[in-house]
Structures are given as structure tokens and as C-alpha cells.
Structure 1
Amino acid sequence: MNKINNSLMAILAALSIGQLHAQSIKGEATLAERYSAVRLANGYYQLSLPAGNYRIFEGNSPREINYDQPILEAAGNVIISAEADERKFFSIVAAPGDTVVVSERLIALKGPSNFRDLGGIRTTNGKYTTWGAFYRSDALASVADTDFPYFESTGIKSVYDLRSQLEVNEKPDNLPASAKWIHFPIFEEGADSKEMKAIMQKVMSGNLTTAEAGELLAEVNHKFVADRLDRFKTLIPQLMDGDDAVLFHCTAGKDRTGFTAALILSILGVDRETILNEYTMTNYYTIDKVQRTLTQGTLSNYAQANGGLLSLMTVDRTYLEAAFDEIDKQYGGVDNFIRNGLGITDEKRKMYMERYTL
């Protein structure tokens, strides 16, 4: 930590990726899914289905499902074989007109722990966000070259890196040649230096409380709306106007990335409670990494007495709620915010919904 920068987000990133010692964390799947798919270690898929009779079809993309012949008929949970480096999408048909497409939400690469698909999330009009269109992740420096074929099977052609130049320099992304890296920092270098010096003094002295950590991260999310809206106003159309799948990430994949995901889901008509539940899935997916820091934290000599470090390493719905509160305060709700804050017309939003929901 000798190279700690004064940038607010650089410090938060360092605290969030498992460099600190924490006492405990409870990982809970907060996003309710009636049908789900998990990719097993051997590349096979486990589909979790409620009791019933189903016909299951598969394809290499959600819009290219082969409905000529089901791959199997099932009455509950099933295991489906697949190659280790290919991604599959499954259409689960319970009855005519009752069809749901699923795939793995977590893209389980050897390095990143928070790489996930924003597809399959129910909207307020009864549709679901399209799988394989938008991906969110933590930093990608640890992606193994051997995972490139699986990475490429996601269809991702553009990777938007929301980190500062300092973060990029320390841990540049490792990407296959097929993915274009685009640097799009949300925060400027050197911002909030006085505030962060005070926070780091507390960390080093062991006096950072849970309340202070929570207030800090809530303020970060508040600033996304109050101070950094122009960045997101430019970013969102770039993510949503392209023809291919995109991935956006920061270091921990929770704050800058979490707010970006919340904006996309809001535009597509997902209700706020579901968005908050998707946001807190970070704790569920990163629990293993956090637990490893319990005995391997490089700052454990400083961190043992810091009750607030766990809050910095994880997410809480109150952090993202701080951004929504500012949206409500300034714009009177998310719909007006999308129109007047992000500058997305109702016609453009309708186009996004038609394109990215099924």
C-alpha cells in the first residue's frame, strides 16, 4: 500500500478487492430466480427448476434457440453436458406461451469473482432482460489465457474499464485479442484527497468504524448522481447503442460498476427493489475471496481493529439507495431522471426495451 493515491476511488478499490482482513461476511443470494442455471466445474450445466413438466431447448445465443427438437424433457433439476469452453442458453418451456430463457449468471473464470451477466431479470411489464448483452465484473488482470475461449464464447467485443489510470497501470486487464479495451474512468485522478487522507489515517490507526465506512460508500454513490452524472450520461449510450455484447468493470465490480448496472436495468424497466437485490448479489459471489482475506490479508496488522473494513469490502443496499435518493430529490423519480438526467428520450428508451428484453 506504499503507492496509495489520493483518489477516492483508487483507495476504495484497494480496500475492496481482498487486500484487507475482515472478521466475517454472510453471502446470500438476494436475487430471486424461479429458474436458474449454474455452470459446474467440468463445464456442464445444472438447471434448477420447480416441480413440473418441462421441455428444454438449447442454443448458442438467447435469440438462436433451436426449437425443432427439445434436448430433453424434465420434471425437475437436471444436469446438461457442454464443452468446457462454450456457453449455452436454454429455453425452458412449461406450456405454450410459458417460456423462460436461462444461462449461467456467474461467468466463472479462474481469476475474477464478480463477473456476471445482467440477463434474465424480470421487468415490470413481465419480460426479462436479454442474456448475453450486458456483463459486469471486477478487475480482469487475473483472467487466465486458458479461459480466453470461454470468455470469447460470451460474445463480448468491447470492455469498458471504469477505473482510474492509477488502477489500470497497477493491474491492466488481460483480455483476448477479440475484445476491444476502452478506458472510461469515472473519477478524476487526485479527487477528494483531503477526505481520503483522513480515511487512510483512520485505517492505519485502526479507528475506522462501520458507520464511517457506510457513510463513505453512500457518499460515493451520491456523488455518481450529484457530481459525475456527465460521465454516466456519456457512458450509457455507448454501452447500449452497439451491436455486440459489452462488459463494464471497475476494480471490485461493486460501486462504479454497480451504479452503471443499476442505470441499465432502470432504463429497461426493472423495478428498484429488484435492482437493489441484483446489486447486493456482489456479496454472494465474492464471499470466497473475502473469506480468503481472513487469513491472507496483507494489511491485517492494521485492519484487525477496524470494524468498518468489512463494509468497505462488501456492498449494502443503503449505498445504492443513496444514489436513488439523490435521483428522487433532483428529478422526482427514475423516469424523469432517465429523460432529463441521462437525456434518453421515451422513444429511445422504448427502443432499448424492445432490443434488450424478451
Structure 2
Amino acid sequence: MTYLAPAPLSTAPNFRDLGGHATRGGGRVRPGVVFRSDALDRVDAADMRTLEEAGVRQVIDLRTSFERESRPDRLPEGADHVVLDVQGDHSTGADLVQVLTEPGRARTVFGDGGATRFMHEVNRVLVSAEDARAGYAEMVRRIAAGPGAAVVHCTAGKDRTGWAAAVLLEILEVPRETVFADYLASNDRLVRMQELTREACERSGVDPALVAPMTECRRAYLEDAYAEVERVFGTFEGYVRDGLGLDRPTVEAVRGRMLGQ
């Protein structure tokens, strides 16, 4: 049977299939098993049909409680909503819009290169913080077990979801340059989010240029995550084994579900 890729989602522009990438061993990531996305709170009827036709049975939500409560997901019929807050116990879990409601605090947090430092810290925390490791480990277990397709998302679909995608692609032995390309591909899909952030800045009297580093995917951010892997766990295999606590059967199960020829 020929696989028909789902149409782009107009209400979630960073939605895309994680499948199609070649692996180092000559295989290929199977399309239609895992999708990555931005938030699904604005999904309209047409986009909901797309998700249902794609067989989505799990929506794995990596957002904080503030984000989930202010922008609750709309779910395909029959899909489980799986909450895996990978930032809940750390200061980097603060929602950007929430910070912008306090202009003085925003200028303190983001000024003098603070936004760039914040993003580097976020990417390190996603690797080594206990709640992040627990969340990403559970994500892998759920994808390994199924059933059906899964959508993994945060708010913009770029940082928390970007690391989720990196974890899965690394487990599947996709070349690292391909992992970086997948991460950076979000930049072409973030125009609406960047516009909304600029508008929020203007309402709060905050210079949008101060916040701009938080609305972009930069290679250096993901490089920091990999550097944290090496610093704390030595290798990516060590991160998967010791950081995420994933055993060989789980790794083989996710490969079995997500790899084809």
C-alpha cells in the first residue's frame, strides 16, 4: 500500500512527519508513525480530519501546566492525551507569554543577551534535568508500545519537541547532520509564532529584539544539548541507557515500529 503523507496543517504550521530520514545502516524511518508539531489548541475541522485520517492515537504534550491550561489541545477522536511536562520542576519552564505580562521582569530576563543565555540553558536542562529525562523516557516507551501514530508537541514545536525528535532519530541511528537539519527546519514554519511574540512584546513595552533569540532554532542551541549529553553521560548511548533508563528491549521495540527499508 502506498503511503499518503498527511496534508500540512494550516492551524499548526510546524506539524510534520518524522519519517522519511535515511539511517546510517541503510534503512529509513517509517512515515506515519510519529509526527512532531506545535500546539494543537487551534486545530480546525479540516486539520482534525487530517489527524484522524493519519491514525493519530496518542498526543504527547510536553508543555507546562500554564501552557496546557491557557491553550488546551484539541484531540482527534479516540486519541489519548499524554502529559509529559519536561520543564515543570525547573525555572526554564516559565511560559514566554506569561513572562511578557511583567515588562520589568521581561527586560531583566531577556536584556543584555539574557534570551540567548536562557535558550542555551533550556537545551542543557532538557538533557540532564530529572523531569526532562523522565518525560523523554516515557515518550519513547509509549511510542514503542503504540498503538497507532503519535504526535509529539510543545507550544512552538521547536525546542522541547526538537529534542524529542533528536532523541528518537538518534535511537534510530539517523546521521547527526540529518538530526540538525530536521531541528533547523522549524525556522521556516515559525513566522506566525514570531509575529505573535512581537505583538506581545509591543503590548508589554518590551523591545522585540531582546526576545528574538527565543523564537528561533539556532544550531548552537542543539550543539549545547549534545555537549551536555557528553558532559554528563559520555555518549548518546550512555544518555539513553543511564539518563533515560531505557533497556535494550524498549530500544529495539521503538526501532521495530519506526524503521523500514
Per the shorter chain, which TM-score range?
0.7 to 0.9
Out of 202, 223, 226, the residue aligned to residue 324 of structure 1 is 226
Which residue does 2:74 correspond to in 1? 174
d(CA) in 2 for partners of 1:158, 1:192: 26
What count of residue pairs does the alignment treat as equivalent?
A: 254
Which amino acid is the alignment partner of residue 218 of structure 1?
H
Q: Deviations over 1:305-341 (max 9, x none)?
A: 3423221111112112211111111222112222222
How high is the sequence identity, in percent, across the aligned residues?
28
d(CA) in 2 for partners of 1:292, 1:233: 33
Pairwise CA distance, 1:298 = 3.4
Which residue does 2:106 correspond to in 1? 203
Pairwise CA distance, 1:192 = 5.7
Structure-to-structure mapping, 1:155-304, within 5 angstroms: 155-188=55-88, 191=91, 201=104, 203-204=106-107, 208-209=111-112, 211-227=113-129, 228-287=132-191, 289-290=192-193, 292-293=195-196, 297-300=199-202, 302=204
**Retained in 2: the 8 A contact 1:160–1:247?**
yes
Out of 223, 238, 255, the residue aligned to residue 336 of structure 1 is 238
d(CA) in 2 for partners of 1:352, 1:291: 34
**Retained in 1: the 8 A contact 2:57–2:76?**
no
In 2 relative to 1, CA 285–336 (structure 1 residues): closer, same or farther, beyond 3 Å? same
d(CA) in 1 for partners of 2:230, 2:51: 38
Q: Structure 2: where are the runs of 5+ without partners?
A: none
In 2 relative to 1, CA 160–206 (structure 1 residues): closer, same or farther, beyond 3 Å? closer
Which amino acid is the alignment partner of residue 255 of structure 2?
M
- Tell which deviates more after alignment, 128-137 or 158-167: 158-167
Q: Deviations over 1:157-208 (max 9, x none)?
A: 11111112211111111123232222222222684699x9799636347962
d(CA) in 1 for partners of 2:230, 2:10: 40
In 2 relative to 1, CA 330–204 (structure 1 residues): closer, same or farther, beyond 3 Å? closer
d(CA) in 2 for partners of 1:225, 1:161: 17
d(CA) in 2 for partners of 1:297, 1:190: 27
Q: Deviations over 1:193-238 (max 9, x none)?
A: 99x97996363479624x4322211101101122132232233212
The 3-state SS of whatever aligns with 2:190 is helix
Q: Does 1:309 align with 2:211?
A: yes
Which residue does 1:108 correspond to in 2? 8
- Tell which deviates more after alignment, 145-154 or 317-326: 145-154
Q: Which has the larger share of strand?
A: 1
Which residue does 1:79 correspond to in 2? none
**Retained in 1: the 8 A contact 2:166–2:179?**
yes
Q: Structure 1: where are the runs of 5+ without partners?
A: 1-63, 66-87, 90-102
**Retained in 2: the 8 A contact 1:206–1:303?**
no
Which residue does 1:82 correspond to in 2? none
Which amino acid is the alignment partner of residue 187 of structure 1?
Q
Which amino acid is the alignment partner of residue 239 of structure 1?
I
**Retained in 2: the 8 A contact 1:123–1:269?**
yes
Task: Give the TM-score normalised by the residue count of structure 2.
Answer: 0.85
Q: Does 1:142 align with 2:42?
A: yes
Which residue does 1:352 correspond to in 2? 254
In 2 relative to 1, CA 249–206 (structure 1 residues): closer, same or farther, beyond 3 Å? closer
Structure-to-structure mapping, 1:57-68, within 5 angstroms: 64-65=1-2
d(CA) in 1 for partners of 2:205, 2:166: 31
Pairwise CA distance, 1:354 = 3.4
Pairwise CA distance, 1:299 = 2.5
**Retained in 2: the 8 A contact 1:207–1:306?**
no
d(CA) in 2 for partners of 1:118, 1:193: 25
Q: CA RMSD in A?
A: 2.9
Which amino acid is the alignment partner of residue 132 of structure 1?
G
Name which one, 1 or 2, has greater alpha-carbon Rg: 1
**Retained in 2: the 8 A contact 1:165–1:189?**
no
d(CA) in 2 for partners of 1:313, 1:160: 22
Pairwise CA distance, 1:149 = 1.8
The 3-state SS of whatever aligns with 1:157 is strand
d(CA) in 1 for partners of 2:155, 2:194: 18
